[in-house]
Each structure stands twice: as C-alpha cells, then as structure tokens.
Amino acid sequence: MKYPRTLNRYCPKCRTHTKHNVSIYKKGKENTQAQGKRRFEKKKKGYGSFPKEIFHKNAKINKKTTPLLECSECGKKHYSKAYRVKKFELQEV
C-alpha cells in the first residue's frame, strides 16, 4: 500500500487542520523490570517445561502497520488508522 509522507489532518492540540508528517510506529524497548516480565521470568525459572502454551495456529498473515502523524505546527504526535497489509510504503506526493 502506498501512503503519502505528508497529509493535511486535524490536530487536536491546534484544533485546526494542519500539515502532518507521517512515519511508521515502531515498538520501543521492553522494560525488564516491568511487573509482567518479572512474573513471567519467575514462572519460567526452575524445573519443567515452558509454563504457557505456545500458540502455533496463527490465523493472521500480516501484521498491522500504524502510521504515526506529527503536526508540523506544534509537534504533537498521534496515530492514524492501522492497516493490515503485506507492504506499507511511504511516498512523496
């Protein structure tokens, strides 16, 4: 899917339509000290097999790609609708 690199969208901070620069959202580094991660590591430790079953029956082929919009006026970032496509490329208009 071809998606424009700049869009004219509504900015909730400016409360008006402004130019937005588009990038693709990337997940940040996970915190090793988060409660869920600590609990999972504790459960994995010791004798026995893997504590949770590993899901092998994957129904979805493509991951969702989320465009991240940044207002050129104020710099506020917000998300656009996510798309489930094989190829998501940003292009100059």
**Domain for residue 10, yes or no?**
yes
**Domain for residue 40, yes or no?**
no
Query: Within its chain, how far is the Cα of 28 from the centroid?
Result: 9
CB atoms within 10 A of CB 67: 19
User: Considering its fold, how many domains does the chain have in total?
Assistant: 1
**Domain for residue 45, yes or no?**
no
pLDDT value of position 29: 95
Query: Residue 93: which CATH number?
Result: 3.10.450.80
DSSP 8-state secondary structure symbol assigned to residue 36: H
CB atoms within 10 A of CB 11: 20
**Domain for residue 65, yes or no?**
yes
Give the tens place of pLDDT for each residue, 21-68: 999 999 999 999 999 999 988 888 887 777 878 888 888 889 999 999
pLDDT value of position 78: 95
Q: pLDDT tier at 17 (50, 70, 90 boundaries)?
A: very high
Its pTM stands at: 0.75
pLDDT value of position 55: 84
Q: Supply the range of the domain harboring residue 7.
A: 1-27+61-93
pLDDT value of position 50: 79
Q: Which residues share a beta bridge with 21?
A: 6, 70
DSSP 8-state secondary structure symbol assigned to residue 40: H
**Domain for residue 79, yes or no?**
yes
